[in-house]
């Protein structure tokens, strides 16, 4: 029988920053050359056809709701989402949509598995606007931010900014509030993510703590017989399971 359990840690957090800038994105569809990455290029100065019009623009397809999503590549406490639309026209292309914050499950959860895990409906926007500032409920945690229309119309996002702080980063200066970090454990399994480093540790807790201090570490794999701790990055193959049975091992995913 598979056993799952959570390990609780504490760290310090500080001021918000735009954690979405130039992170990986994906669109339900793309209209002409207006790619999903245009929404995170950091330029919100001119959002009209008379300027550069560097905006993400979905296609309008029958029977398909348009959506856009960013992978923050870490779990963050998300406080605010700022969304910028066109300034010259077409506010209807930024209307009737939900802002969703998605916290993935312990398994390898990438683009193909967005429906897994916990989804927090942060905001619903009924009317169109050139800019929308969304304040999420306190302690909203997630890795993915998705903008999803409730109809089949176009979705145009010229720039999007996400403000928050990571739940598993330790800042070296200043004072901050205490924040809990969870490591979701899978007993009797190994993890197929890329190996970052290996070392001998005294316990699975020490192994997990080492993973927390490494920015690129997504999972701590601990061998209970050899005491070898292997730090692993994210499994990017969303079409296959990232876990494989191994009675000697324990895996802890940083949440």
pTM of the model: 0.66
> Is 183:252 a contact under the CB 8 Å cutoff?
yes
Q: Which two tokens stand for residue 137?
A: 């409920």
Residue 236, pLDDT > 70, answer: no
- For residue 235, the number of C-alpha atoms closer than 13 Å in the C-beta half-sphere is 21
Chain segment 144-157, per-residue pLDDT in tens: 999 999 999 999 99
The residue whose two tokens read 């993973």 is: 211
In angstroms, the CA 222 to CA 201 distance is 9
Domains assigned to the chain: 4-10+176-254 (3.50.4.10), 15-166 (2.60.120.260)
Chain segment 186-206, per-residue pLDDT in tens: 889 898 888 999 999 988 888
What contacts 196, CB < 8 A, 6 or more positions away? 214, 216, 217, 231, 232, 233
Q: Greater confidence, 253 or 126?
A: 126
Closest residue by Cα to residue 80 from 130, 41, 116, 131: 131
Chain segment 111-155, per-residue pLDDT in tens: 656 776 788 999 999 999 899 999 999 999 998 999 999 999 999
Closest residue by Cα to residue 99 from 43, 137, 154, 49: 137
């Amino acid at each position: 029988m598979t056993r799952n359990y959570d390990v609780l840690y504490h760290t310090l957090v500080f001021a918000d920053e735009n954690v979405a800038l130039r992170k990986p994105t994906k669109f339900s569809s793309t209209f002409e050359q207006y790619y999903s990455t245009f929404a995170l290029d950091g330029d919100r100065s001119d959002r009209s056809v008379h300027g550069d019009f560097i905006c993400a623009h979905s296609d309008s397809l029958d029977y398909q709701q348009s959506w856009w999503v960013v992978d923050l590549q870490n779990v963050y406490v998300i406080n605010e989402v700022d969304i910028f639309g066109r300034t010259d026209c077409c506010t209807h292309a930024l209307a009737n949509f939900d802002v969703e914050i998605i916290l993935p499950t312990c398994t390898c959860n990438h683009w193909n598995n967005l429906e897994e895990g916990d989804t927090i409906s942060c905001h619903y926007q009924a009317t169109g606007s050139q800019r929308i500032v969304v304040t999420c409920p306190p302690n909203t945690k997630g890795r993915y931010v998705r903008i999803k229309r409730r109809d089949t119309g176009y979705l145009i996002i010229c720039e999007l900014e996400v403000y928050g702080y990571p739940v598993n980063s330790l800042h070296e200066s200043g004072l901050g509030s205490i924040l809990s970090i969870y490591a979701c454990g899978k007993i009797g399994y190994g993890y197929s993510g890329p190996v970052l480093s290996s070392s001998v540790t005294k316990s699975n807790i020490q192994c997990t703590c080492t993973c927390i201090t490494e920015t690129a570490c997504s999972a701590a794999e601990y061998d209970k017989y050899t005491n070898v701790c292997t730090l692993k990055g994210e499994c990017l193959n969303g079409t296959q399971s990232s876990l494989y049975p191994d009675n000697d091992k324990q895996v802890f995913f940083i949440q």
